[in-house]
């Protein structure tokens, strides 16, 4: 009984360690209605083509780099081309670890409809995103204020409007 308790405590402690928590936080969960959630690991996201957007945050200007939202969606099997008819009522809900949420219509994400570039950044000025900003941050080029630049991004859910 004591051996089980010590083993159980060790497993519980390992699950609570910063190393385990960090590896779990490096992933991004993509949810699409009618499909099982897809967990994209940091290595998968970092293997995608890189894009960059220069932007201004409250602490100054920086060059943000990471895969485009279009490429992340393509990896997840979500088509952003030919957004017409019922697809115009679909949206993506971006959620941060602190509960902050941002909604963008799929038509806003489609390069066929919108010229606005968006990326899932993992670095700024050649360095990993600082502190609580990372490991992933949505960057929306052309916004006059970075309100939709959700940091600590943990999931994206694609849904149909009711």
Q: Is residue 101 part of a domain?
A: yes
Q: What's the CATH number where 148 sits?
A: 3.90.420.10
Q: What share of the chain is helix, strand, coil (3-state, %, to 5)?
A: 30, 35, 35
Q: What are 136's two structure tokens?
A: 């992933």
Q: Is residue 93 part of a domain?
A: yes
Q: Is residue 1 part of a domain?
A: no
- What is the number of structural domains in the chain? 1
Q: Per-residue pLDDT for the chain (162 aa), expressed as one digit of tens each?
A: 434 333 333 333 333 323 223 334 689 999 998 899 999 999 999 999 999 999 887 667 899 999 999 999 999 999 888 788 888 889 999 999 999 999 999 988 887 788 889 999 999 999 999 888 889 999 999 888 888 999 999 999 999 998
Nearest CA among 29, 32, 30 for reference residue 160: 32
Q: Is residue 38 part of a domain?
A: yes
149 near 66, Cβ under 8 Å?
A: no
Domain residues for the domain of 125 are 26-160
Q: How far apart are CA 125 and CA 25, in angstroms?
A: 22
């Amino acid at each position: 009984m004591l051996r089980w308790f010590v083993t159980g405590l060790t497993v519980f402690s390992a699950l609570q360690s910063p190393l385990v928590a960090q590896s779990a936080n490096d992933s991004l969960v993509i949810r699409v209605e009618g499909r099982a959630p897809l967990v994209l690991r940091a290595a998968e996201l970092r293997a995608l083509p890189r894009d960059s957007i220069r932007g201004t945050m409250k602490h100054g200007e920086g060059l943000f780099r990471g895969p485009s939202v279009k490429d992340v969606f393509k990896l997840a099997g979500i088509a952003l081309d030919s957004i017409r008819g019922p697809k115009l009522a679909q949206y993506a809900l971006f959620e941060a670890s602190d509960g902050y949420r941002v909604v963008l219509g799929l038509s806003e994400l489609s390069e066929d409809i919108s010229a606005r570039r968006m990326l899932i950044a993992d670095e700024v000025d050649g360095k990993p995103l600082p502190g609580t900003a990372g490991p992933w941050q949505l960057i929306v080029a052309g916004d006059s204020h970075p309100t939709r630049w959700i940091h600590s991004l943990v999931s994206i859910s694609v849904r149909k409007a009711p």
